[in-house]
Amino acid sequence: MDRLKGKRALITGGTTGIGLATARQFLLEGARVMVTGWNENTLDRARQELGREVPVVRIDAGKAGDQQLLRLRVEDTFGRLDVAVLNAGIGVFKPLEEWDEQSFNRSVDVNLKGPFFLMQALLPVLANPASIVLTGSVNAHIGMATSSVYSATKAALRSLARTLSGELVSRGVRVNTLSPGPVATPIYRKLGLPDDALQEMSQSLLKQLPAGRFADPVEIAHAAVFLASDESAYAIGSEIVMDGGFTTL
């Protein structure tokens, strides 16, 4: 359990769900970890769970200026950074006619603009070699109704993994995407849907999953460990889709 021994890792959106599971797994594998979040309640719970040696930083993942502040915190804490898991994101699902400019901009800011400018901000502190892992989504590959903006932002992240790998590989930085299917995380509770609608949504998704269940966040975290570790040194601009067979139907 030392595949990340000595590595310095940043995990955005690391206070709940996949991000928190990834932080736990990175610690088990010997990494030094910093996580970010926004909600004060989940920030406090993450501090208690991960321990006082793990910095838990409050930033707005959608503001370009906050990414520069985060880089300064990383530099002060670690000096250099070996791994960045850009996991912070929001999921808003509604039909085309219900979107307005404000909600569109917020989704794009958090899911795409923030990660882009965080990668830019981190360039001076990235080690050689370094691994960047972008949390994508199976939604980038399918035509799920009401997921237009969310899916577009995740498809854009997938594209960035390719283009920035070509741009940064000479600096020893590789960028890969980890794209989960349905995962048992709090993101569904954040959709603002009533309980009966959430139950209907879950049942509909389950019918489309050959695996017959949602993923456990730790299963996605195991893949993140692989992409962060030297075991995946030949993975450059690639994507791991973990969807329980969702896209095989």
Condensed to tens digits (0 to 9), the pLDDT of residues 110-134 reads: 999 999 999 999 999 999 999 999 9
**For residue 118, what pLDDT is reported?**
98
What integer pLDDT is reported at residue 194 of this predicted model? 58
Per residue in 4-54, pLDDT (tens digit) is 999 999 999 999 999 999 999 999 999 999 999 999 999 999 999 999 999
What is the architecture, at CATH level 2, of domain 8-242?
3-Layer(aba) Sandwich (3.40)
pLDDT at 204: 72
Task: Calculate helix-pair angle for 114-122, 64-78, nearest 10 degrees.
Answer: 40
The dihedral sign for the CA sequence 58, 159, 219, 30: negative
Instruction: Give residue-wise pLDDT tens across range 138-148.
Output: 999 999 999 99
- Tell me what pLDDT residue 162 has: 97
Mean pLDDT of the chain: 93
Q: Is 150 a catalytic residue?
A: yes
Strands 173-180 and 239-242: parallel
Span 199-224, average pLDDT: 84
- Summarised one tens digit per residue, pLDDT across range 84-105 is 999 999 999 999 999 999 999 9
144, 151 Cβ separation under 8 angstroms: yes
- pTM score of the predicted model: 0.93
Of 26, 150, 214, 246, the active-site residue reads 150
CB 47 within 8 A of CB 243: no
CB 41 within 8 A of CB 15: no
